[in-house]
Structure 1
């Protein structure tokens, strides 16, 4: 669990940051904080500039193009990567996302989901999570808990291509610059709609806007220019990803996650023959896994999925008693444990790894500036919530801004910006805390901790209302 000092710091930052009204008070001595070189070439003025054209930034641009009110805004999307031609390959990409129901609803409203379905996705209708240090497990089934599937596994590049396709077909008010290298920002120091943000490019071009939206990822330059406090730490872990070929063909609509002492291993379905791996482990071990010959890597993975790790006799006794007690009081002890698939081999050259870290911006807004996605928050991938939080930001920001403009407010008015910040932090921060606590809880192998988490998992699995509440929050 979090140390007391870290917990106190995190809670203090949360209390300071969750507000329903107001933005930071700054000196009126100057209108602009200059963070860059003087303007060299003025290229254009926009109502909104979105810095960052990843999945979240492009979705926001698409939402603005689709909204009947926001479509009147002049918007510039700046994407640092070149505009690459997309071609759907036979082999799956090793980077995938697990999209929840709210994200599906958003994408459907933007006509993006229909494009994804025409390419490929895989529904998750059952999920099993189990502890390698005990017999404790929990399962979620779409037939038991939800009216629809638990989640959907989609490749990052497929989703981004679908968003870009829809954006291209409805972007009358959207301009896009690819391979955009941003040198710096000049941001307003106070709430003044007449003072605009300046975005200076590496080639000397400069753009201005009333509203600057930072969708530029965890190392956000927009966030740094805002000067807001950012709470972050590294996990000294990496997520090893690969595309797996199953030993036997099956329906394959189950997501598997096993907690081993070094971290969780997730097996996410892609189709009847293939799954995607996300193996969170210590950095040294991750580098070793990447260097192994492919057959040895598969052996290591199967061993991690099936290996019997050392167990405490006390934990075994208590969990066995808990199972019996749940049955005596008439509570189901959960569905029967299912066995994960065996892995035959991996798609050649599909292995990669990325660092894992936590991040929380204490403020999502400043005068004329808003943060969304990883620029505002970053979480461990163990719950698959990272990009869903970002898409939730898009939905709430679009609604807040559209309502504000309908009411006659300026696009940088503090009322709607504060509403957006408050709404999102009240959802994102509890999710971040929950994920952080799970990570801390399951990377400790002390007997009392293993006992507490095992019994807690057993009881949660037996309480259908609690499981529904968990899934409802995860789906939002």
Structure 2
């Protein structure tokens, strides 16, 4: 277990004021006798995706929590993983905080043995002006900006540790079909019931919802969920580049319809995430492969119309920055050209925003997309989820360390407060960026261009951005 933070120590010296919130259930309460319950657990995690599996692994490996009985319920059947020559079209950009978590759980070693691509540079630029911002790992931090890993490889690496013989307190049920939840209404005697389609019923002290954006656990809690769709889709594909390069740069260009991004996979291949309107996304999926490649290269290289007034203002501002010894943003790298796409690698998924006003209730906690959903433009979605894993595990361990139960409201609410202080500003910032850059009016383009130029010129601001993005 990591050493307790100063805030935890202060809690041990002062009495925190907390409150208990009653939640509603999705179904009428039903009385269950003990003989109707197949098995009792301390913790049940609903959802065995990347975040849910990592949480089960983190709890199982924590010395203060390893005595707890944990059940992981995953709706999909158990998959046999095979590392194929071609990359998957679904990848994640893991930040330093996530890498540290994976290292602490001995998961990272499995990823490194397979394949992972570091991102050492990142360039983001505007199609409607000459403004850009770049990040260089050598300038702003001691390590790489991010690491590109395939979703299924990451899940396989987590499962290798999760199913290790040394992890004896975690059970996994694959193909688990949950019919409903009956949640405890009383903190003093928490007992959540999970009913399965096959008639089985499990009980637990702490139920953790890691079941995605359409979380049934969150619905059972009865909490308010703020959400909206962007009426955009993310088109993904695996790309072959025209020339072999070191390929450690992530590229993102803001188009009037949304951002198009290339994430490096190896010296010859990159992964595409192209956010665009629903109609355009459907057109891109239907294009012949050669025409799709042409459309993508146009998106990366085409000169879009620029406002002469915006150009004059940004040029003058760049000169001012240069005159006081700051970078004016005139120097830029050119993105790679795409030669072809991997056959059948194109796919699309809807984009939206979501945030649960509460992450916890008596005997219940939410993690990952069950608690929050963001636009993929900043690559923060899964990293926020892994941040939830780290904090929740530490707060549960701190509860045990102080002689309290894992369902004690003060520690669950500390988890909620800690994560919402980090997640909400991130979500708001990402949503604001999306809205700011999908408007093509010259005054808006001017404001965002000047802001981009100034941010790129001021190293402390860039460090602050990267510091928040990697924690």
Q: Same fold (TM over 0.5)?
A: yes
Task: Answer yes or no: is the 8 Å Cα contact 1:51–1:212 preserved in 2.
Answer: yes
Correspondent of 1:339 among 321, 329, 334: 334
* Matched residues, number: 453
Q: For residue 426 of structure 2, what is the aligned residue in structure 1?
A: 431
**Alignment of 1:182 onto 2:203:** no
Q: For residue 117 of structure 1, what is the aligned residue in structure 2?
A: 112
**Alignment of 1:254 onto 2:254:** no
Aligned partners of 1:37, 1:285: CA distance in 2, in Å? Answer: 49
Structure 1's unaligned 5+ residue stretches are 1-19
Q: For residue 293 of structure 2, what is the aligned residue in structure 1?
A: 298
Task: Answer yes or no: is the 8 Å Cα contact 2:318–2:329 preserved in 1.
Answer: no
Aligned partners of 1:101, 1:313: CA distance in 2, in Å? Answer: 41
Task: Answer yes or no: is the 8 Å Cα contact 1:23–1:367 preserved in 2.
Answer: no
**Alignment of 1:158 onto 2:153:** yes
Correspondent of 1:234 among 211, 217, 229: 229
**Alignment of 1:67 onto 2:62:** yes
- Superposition deviation, residue 328 in structure 1: 1.2
Q: For residue 71 of structure 2, what is the aligned residue in structure 1?
A: 76
- Superposition deviation, residue 165 in structure 1: 0.2
Aligned partners of 1:226, 1:114: CA distance in 2, in Å? Answer: 37
Task: Answer yes or no: is the 8 Å Cα contact 2:74–2:174 preserved in 1.
Answer: yes
Task: Answer yes or no: is the 8 Å Cα contact 1:128–1:254 preserved in 2.
Answer: yes
Aligned partners of 1:125, 1:43: CA distance in 2, in Å? Answer: 51
SS at match of 2:89: coil
Q: What's the CA shift string for 1:115-164, capped at 9, x where partnerless?
A: 10000000000000000000000000001011000000000000000000
Aligned partners of 2:379, 2:28: CA distance in 1, in Å? Answer: 36
Aligned partners of 2:20, 2:334: CA distance in 1, in Å? Answer: 53
- Superposition deviation, residue 332 in structure 1: 2.0
Q: Normalising by structure 2, report the TM-score.
A: 0.94
SS at match of 2:304: coil
Structure 2's unaligned 5+ residue stretches are 1-15
Q: For residue 445 of structure 1, what is the aligned residue in structure 2?
A: 440
**Alignment of 1:369 onto 2:364:** yes
Task: Answer yes or no: is the 8 Å Cα contact 1:213–1:369 preserved in 2.
Answer: yes
Task: Answer yes or no: is the 8 Å Cα contact 1:372–1:394 preserved in 2.
Answer: yes
Correspondent of 1:388 among 383, 390, 396: 383
Q: For residue 307 of structure 1, what is the aligned residue in structure 2?
A: 302
Task: Answer yes or no: is the 8 Å Cα contact 1:25–1:190 preserved in 2.
Answer: no
Task: Answer yes or no: is the 8 Å Cα contact 1:255–1:268 preserved in 2.
Answer: yes
Aligned partners of 1:217, 1:384: CA distance in 2, in Å? Answer: 17
Aligned partners of 2:468, 2:125: CA distance in 1, in Å? Answer: 20
Inter-CA distance 35–353: structure 2 relative to 1 (3 Å threshold): farther
SS at match of 2:163: helix
Inter-CA distance 298–21: structure 2 relative to 1 (3 Å threshold): farther
- Superposition deviation, residue 333 in structure 1: 2.1
SS at match of 1:148: coil
Q: Normalising by structure 1, report the TM-score.
A: 0.93
Task: Answer yes or no: is the 8 Å Cα contact 1:231–1:359 preserved in 2.
Answer: yes
Structure 1 residues 159-168 or 32-41, which shifts more? 32-41
- Superposition deviation, residue 204 in structure 1: 1.0
- Superposition deviation, residue 195 in structure 1: 3.5
**Alignment of 1:130 onto 2:122:** no
Q: How does 1:345-424 map to 2 (within 5 A)?
A: 345-424=340-419
Correspondent of 2:459 among 449, 460, 464: 464
Task: Answer yes or no: is the 8 Å Cα contact 1:34–1:187 preserved in 2.
Answer: no
Task: Answer yes or no: is the 8 Å Cα contact 1:33–1:186 preserved in 2.
Answer: yes
SS at match of 2:207: strand
SS at match of 1:64: helix
Q: What's the CA shift string for 1:407-460, capped at 9, x where partnerless?
A: 110111011101100000000000001001000100000111000000000000
**Alignment of 1:316 onto 2:321:** no
- Superposition deviation, residue 203 in structure 1: 1.1
Task: Answer yes or no: is the 8 Å Cα contact 2:21–2:361 preserved in 1.
Answer: no
- Superposition deviation, residue 25 in structure 1: 3.3
**Alignment of 1:212 onto 2:203:** no
Quote the RMSD (CA, aligned, Å): 1.5
- Superposition deviation, residue 330 in structure 1: 2.0
Aligned partners of 1:266, 1:82: CA distance in 2, in Å? Answer: 32
- Superposition deviation, residue 21 in structure 1: 5.3
